[in-house]
Chain A
Amino acid sequence: MLPALLALSTVASSTATPYLENLIAEAAARGLADSLTWRRLVHYEPRWIGDGFESTADTERFFLADEGKTDPHAELRATLAAFFAPPVEETKEVQHPQCRFRARYRWLRAELGFDDAQLPVMPCARFEWWRERLNAKSATVVFAAAYLNNPASMFGHTFLRLNRTDTGQATDLVAYTVNYAAIPTTNNPLFYTVMGLAGGFYGMYSTMPYYMKVKEYSDLEKRDLWEYDLSLSEPEIKRLVEHLWELGQVSFDYFYFDENCSYHLLSLLEAARPTLELTSQFGPYVIPADTLRVVVEEPGLVTTRRYRHSRYVEMLAMRGRLSPREVVLAEAIASGADPVDVELPKDRHALVLDAALALNRYRSAEDEDAPKDIAQQILITRGRLRVPRATLEIEEGDPPELSHESTHLALGAGADASAFVSLELRFALHDLFGLANGYVRGSQIEFLRTQLRVPVEPTRGFEPAIEMVRLLRIVSLTPYDAWVFRPSWRLSTGVERLHQDGCVGSSCLYYELAGGPGLSAEPTDKLLLYAFLDASGGAGPAFEKNYRVALGASVGALLTPFDPIRLGVEASYRYPLLGQPYPDFAPGDDGAPFTIRGVAAVNLTTNVELRGTYDRRRGYEAADAQVRFFF
Chain B
Amino acid sequence: MKKLKVALLSLSAIALAGFGANAVAAPYGMAGCGLGSVIIGADGFMQVFAATTNGTFASQTFGITTGTSNCVRSGVVLADKEQEAFFETNYAELQSDIAAGGGEYLAALSGLFSCSEDIQSEVASVAQENFEMIFPKQETSPVHALYMLKVSLSRHDSIAAACHL
A contact residues vs B (CB 8 Å cutoff): 48, 92-93, 126, 129-130, 133-134, 144, 149-150, 152-153, 155-158, 170-171, 173-174, 176, 179, 181-184, 187, 189-190, 192-194, 196-199, 201, 204-209, 211-212, 215-216, 220-221, 248-250, 255-258, 260-261, 284-285, 288, 350, 354, 357, 361, 365-366, 368, 372-373, 375-376, 378-380, 382-384, 386-389, 427, 447-448, 471-472, 474, 489, 491, 493-494
Contact = CB atoms under 8 A, between A and B. Distances in A.
Nearest to A308: B104
B75 A386 contact: no
Contact of A257 (B5, B73, B104, B121): B5
B56 A284 contact: no
A211 B132 contact: no
Contacts of A376: 135, 137-138
Given A150-B19, A249-B45, A491-B15, 18 more contacts: A152-B54, A153-B55, A158-B55, A181-B58, A193-B14, A207-B75, A208-B35, A216-B49, A220-B51, A257-B9, A261-B55, A284-B5, A285-B9, A376-B137, A382-B99, A388-B121, A388-B125, A489-B19
A427 B6 contact: no
16 contacts: A92-B42, A150-B19, A150-B23, A158-B55, A171-B107, A181-B50, A193-B10, A194-B14, A209-B89, A211-B89, A220-B51, A249-B43, A368-B27, A388-B125, A389-B102, A448-B9
B58 A183 contact: yes
A285 B56 CA distance: 14
Decide if the interface of chain A is mainly helix, strand, loop or mixed. Answer: mixed
Nearest to A93: B42
A209 B86 contact: yes
Nearest to A428: B9
Interface string B25-61: 0111000000100001111111111111011111110
A375 B55 contact: no
A189 B89 contact: no
A149 B23 CA distance: 8
A99 to B, nearest CB: 11
Contacts of B35: 208, 212
Contact of B12 (A153, A204, A493): A493
Nearest to A185: B60
A290 to B, nearest CB: 13
A342 to B, nearest CB: 16
Contacts of B131: 379-380, 383-384
Nearest to B105: A173
Contacts of B49: 208, 212, 216
B156 to A, nearest CB: 16
Contacts of B1: 284
The winner among A250, A366, A375, A388 for most chain B CB atoms within 10 A is A388
Contacts of A144: 55
A284 B9 CA distance: 12
A566 to B, nearest CB: 25
Interface string B90-108: 1010011111111111011
A494 to B, nearest CB: 8
A474 B128 contact: no
Contact of B75 (A158, A183, A206, A258): A206
A466 to B, nearest CB: 15
| A-B pairs with lowest CB-CB distance, top 4 | A157-B55, A249-B44, A383-B131, A471-B12
Contact of B92 (A208, A361, A382): A361
B165 interface: no
B46 A204 contact: yes
Contact of A383 (B18, B99, B108): B99
A487 to B, nearest CB: 11
